């Protein structure tokens, strides 16, 4: 019999997004607002849709108003499935 080899891609592929920290009041957790532009099909009008993600910040080093990059990770708690990687390039 022939052996079927299954190839899987790299395991460290995860989604990344940029957003602004809107709350840092929890211990080791920040709330990040991610904005994206959506186009209405009928009227061709662009509008902003935002969503908030609870992200893990192990050292409590990021403060409200900072623009950060977040990445998807394993579930840390019920709501936290994202972690802060670092500051966005060129932003404070």
Q: Domains (ranges, CATH) in the chain?
A: 16-87 (2.40.50.140)
pTM listed for this prediction: 0.80
How far apart are the C-alpha atoms of 66 and 19, rounded to whole Å?
A: 8
pLDDT for residue 43: 97
Q: What is the pLDDT of residue 77?
A: 96
35-64 confidence digits (pLDDT tens): 999 999 999 999 999 999 999 999 999 999
Q: What is the 3-state secondary structure (H, E, C) of 1-37?
A: CCCCCCCCCCCCCCCEEEEEEEEEEECCEEEEEEEEE
């Amino acid at each position: 019999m022939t052996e079927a080899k299954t190839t899987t891609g790299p395991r460290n592929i995860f989604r990344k997004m940029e957003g602004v920290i809107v709350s840092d009041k929890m211990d080791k957790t920040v709330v990040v607002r991610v904005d994206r532009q959506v186009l209405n099909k009928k009227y061709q009008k662009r509008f902003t849709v935002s969503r908030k993600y609870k992200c893990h910040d192990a050292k409590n080093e990021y403060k409200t108003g900072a623009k950060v990059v977040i990445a998807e990770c394993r579930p840390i708690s019920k709501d936290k499935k994202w972690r802060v990687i670092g500051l966005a390039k060129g932003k404070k």
